[in-house]
Amino acid sequence: MSHTPIERVAASTPPAIASRVRGLSDRTLAWIFVAPTIFLLLAVNIFPLVWTIRLSLTNYRANRAGAELEWVGLRNYTRILTDPDIWQTMQATAHFLIWTILLQVLIGFTLAWLINRKFRGNDLWTTIIVLPMMLSPAVVGNFWTFLYQPQIGLFNYAVSFVTGIDPSSFSMIGSVELAPWAIVIVDTWMWTPFVMLICLAGLRSIPDYIYEAAAIDRASPWRQFWTITLPMVLPFLMLAVLFRGIENFKMFDLVVQLTGGGPGSTTELTSINLKREAFEKWRTGYASAYAIILFVTVFGLASIYVKALNKVKER
Amino acid sequence: MASFVAALLRLRRGPWEMVASILIALGVVMLMQPFALWAYTWSFLVTLAGTVMFVIVSHFPE
């Protein structure tokens, strides 16, 4: 007579399966359970990576799949890393990356700090601030092109209202000087709420008794901010920087919809350039080498961030 | 500085990870800087060296 659930399950196992499983060790059983996951990881992550590395060493073109494959060695890498146009693209990406992260962290943290205070309508304001993050990047890109219109755009009128200059005298997405800032503004508008939410989680995790102890010790609000708030929110801030840094390094949809990489190639970020090489010029081998360069860069940066994050958490 | 070098020689994780991190950061700066094309050309090699080093040295003892 079986009593425990395990005994009942064992008793209900068909004899044919039971006899087959009975001879297996715990280790073998563990491998049987883990094997599908390992197989999936190999198929979805590792195999494409190895295949891309292989393609990056050839002149393969996806639109001529039947053509004979030529082994070109490191030539694709050499050409990418000596190309002034791709260098220019990297600089555009750097501009976008640095400014978006800086603005999002500053504004996001400030908003979180303000929202963390108890006031009427706190939840409503949080919902309103978080709204842009919930929209699709394609939709955001599309409606910001209207906001940036010199003739009818609200953005130009807002700038005109504040500065007094003629709204039709400048075009945010048509000007070589302003277009890089146009994409920074939109990305900041869209993703600051994300940074704010992470900072808010950090701020709410600080116990009140620490501030009470600091108040008893007569620490000024400024000192409380620098010695309690900021150090305790730092791991959360670093996490936000890591997420936004990796995301913005790969930024594609929003910018394509907003400027299409123009005017000229002023706002052509690396991922847009990579897509053009891969699916407009069909230089698949070359694009694979390009993708590997970007992958190594993101992987390296992520390694540093994760290490720094662990260090901050240990403090 | 002497303790840092000693830890490097004893193959400790901390200082080696720091060296790898510096290499990665240097590589990324070289990749995105607007001043010298030669730095851009060598950036990938520096980043790759740093990243591979980081993966290896993260298995070193503390």
* Domain chopping of chain A, boundaries: 5-56, 78-314
Question: In A, which residues are within 8 Å of B55 by CB distance?
Answer: 303
Beta carbons of A250 and A271 less than 8 angstroms apart: yes
Q: Tell whether the model's pLDDT for residue B6 goes beyond 90.
A: no
Cα A178 to Cα A185: distance, rounded to the nearest angstrom: 10
Closest to A100 in 3D by CA, of A229, A307, A254: A254
Question: In B, which residues are within 8 Å of A296 by CB distance?
Answer: 44, 47-48, 51
- Tens of pLDDT along A103-137? 999 999 999 999 988 788 888 888 999 999 999 99
Q: Å from A74 to nearest chain B CA?
A: 12
Question: In B, which residues are within 8 Å of A92 by CB distance?
Answer: none
CATH code for A78-314?
1.10.3720.10
Cα angle vertex A49, ends A87, B61, to 5°? 95
Chain centroid to CA A189: 15
Check CB contact under 8 Å for A81 and B44. Answer: yes
B19 vs A: CB within 8 A:
no
Closest to A194 in 3D by CA, of A311, A299, A100: A100
Closest to A61 in 3D by CA, of A300, A262, A288: A288
Check CB contact under 8 Å for B21 and A93. Answer: no
Beta carbons of A230 and A203 less than 8 angstroms apart: no
Assigned token pair, A232 = 């305790």
Cα A130 to Cα A20: distance, rounded to the nearest angstrom: 55
Check CB contact under 8 Å for A87 and B47. Answer: no
B50 vs A: CB within 8 A:
yes
Residue A49's CB is within 10 A of a number of other CB atoms, namely: 12
Give the A-side interface with B, CB within 8 Å. 77, 81-82, 84, 87, 90-91, 93-94, 97, 293, 296-297, 299-301, 303-304, 307
Write the residue in A81, A93, A300 that is nearest to B40 by C-beta: A81
> Could you tell me which residues come within 8 angstroms of residue A300 by beta carbon, excluding any fewer than 6 positions away?
B24, B27, B28, B47, B50, B51, B54
Check CB contact under 8 Å for B21 and A81. Answer: no
Assigned token pair, A154 = 């609200």
DSSP string across chain A:
---SHHHHHHHHS-HHHHHHHHT--HHHHHHHHHHHHHHHHIIIIIHHHHHHHHHHTB---GGGTTSPP-B-TTHHHHHHTT-HHHHHHHHHHHHHHHHHHHHHHHHHHHHHHHHTS--TTHHHHHHHHHHHHHS-HHHHHHHHHHHT-TTT-HHHHHHHHHH---GGG--TTT-TTTHHHHHHHHHHHHHHHHHHHHHHHHHHTS-HHHHHHHHHTT--HHHHIIIIIHHHHHHHHHHHHHHHHHHHHT--HHHHHHTTT-STTTT--HHHHHHHHHHTS--HHHHHHHHHHHHHHHHHHHHHHHHHHHHHHH-
Check CB contact under 8 Å for A90 and B31. Answer: yes
Q: What is the pLDDT along chain A (315 residues), one digit of tens a residue?
A: 557 887 887 788 787 777 676 677 888 889 999 999 999 999 999 999 999 999 999 999 988 878 888 899 899 999 999 999 999 999 999 999 999 999 999 999 999 999 988 788 888 888 999 999 999 999 999 989 999 998 888 999 999 999 888 888 888 888 899 999 999 999 999 999 999 999 999 999 899 899 999 999 999 989 999 999 999 998 889 889 988 988 898 899 999 999 988 788 899 999 999 999 999 999 999 999 999 999 999 999 888 888 887 877 776
B43 vs A: CB within 8 A:
yes
Question: In B, which residues are within 8 Å of A87 by CB distance?
Answer: 37, 40
Beta carbons of A167 and A160 less than 8 angstroms apart: yes
Cα A224 to Cα A237: distance, rounded to the nearest angstrom: 18
Check CB contact under 8 Å for B41 and A82. Answer: yes
Check CB contact under 8 Å for A296 and B32. Answer: no
Assigned token pair, A19 = 């006899």
Question: In A, which residues are within 8 Å of B40 by CB distance?
Answer: 81, 87, 90
Q: Which CA distances in Å does A250 have to A72, A95, A97, B25?
A: 27, 14, 10, 18
